[in-house]
Amino acid sequence: MARFRILVVEDSPTMRQLITFTLKRLKDVEIVEASDGVDGLKKISAGKFDIIFTDINMPIMDGLKLVSLVKNDPANKDIPIVVITTEGGQEDRDRALALGANSYITKPIQATNLLATATQLLKIT
């Protein structure tokens, strides 16, 4: 069994593959993919995760709603959430952080940035 379980919620298969491909470089991780917020919630209710990476703009349920639901759920509120989006404005960043997101990464993502954020939030030494 992997030491860390990571959930990647992203509607774009290209981005999902890129994020997964990058995060697989961390040692001892299991990555689960979800294509939108609802799918993400299903995966969260089905198993424990150590960190969630989510896009903001997604069909069915966007990333901000997902952040809000997870952070208001006593069972999952402590899971760190990293928001990944094309929105680079300070307002979007503040909105995501106000809802409880732990970190914020803008597209196009840098692999080093993604890995550094995951390492920091998972407290990997």
Partner 1 sequence: MSGPGKDEIESGQIHSGEEKGPSLKSGDEVLQIIKKGAEFTQELLKENERLRYRLVQAEEENFSLKKRTVKGVSGDELSKLQNRLELLETEKRQILERFRQVEDENKNFANRYLEIENENNNLANLYIASYQLHSTLDFKEVLRIILEIIINLIGAEQFAVMMLDEKTHQLNAVASEGMAKEDIPPITLGTGVIGNVAKTGESYFKEDLSHRGTINPADPIVCIPMTIKERVIGVIVIYSLLQQKDKFTNLDYELFTLLAGHTATAVFSSKLYSESERKLSTIQGFIDLLTK
Closest to partner 1 by CB, 15 or 69: 15
Decide: 35 and 63 in contact? Cβ < 8 Å: no
Compute the least distance from the CB of residue 109 to partner 1, in Å: 8
User: Would you tell me which residues interact with partner 1 (CB under 8 A)?
Assistant: 12-15, 17-18, 21-22, 86, 88-89, 106-112
Compute the least distance from the CB of residue 103 to partner 1, in Å: 15
Q: How far is CA 66 from CA 8, 72, 110, 120, in A?
A: 12, 10, 23, 22
Compute the least distance from the CB of residue 15 to partner 1, in Å: 5
Which segments within 45-98 are labelled E, that is strand? 51-55, 81-85
Closest to partner 1 by CB, 41 or 56: 56
How far apart (Å, rounded) are the C-alpha atoms in residues 102 and 85?
14
Compute the least distance from the CB of residue 4 to partner 1, in Å: 20
Closest to partner 1 by CB, 36 or 44: 36
Decide: 108 and 78 in contact? Cβ < 8 Å: no
Closest to partner 1 by CB, 114 or 121: 114
The continuous run of DSSP H or E covering 32 comes out as strand 29-34
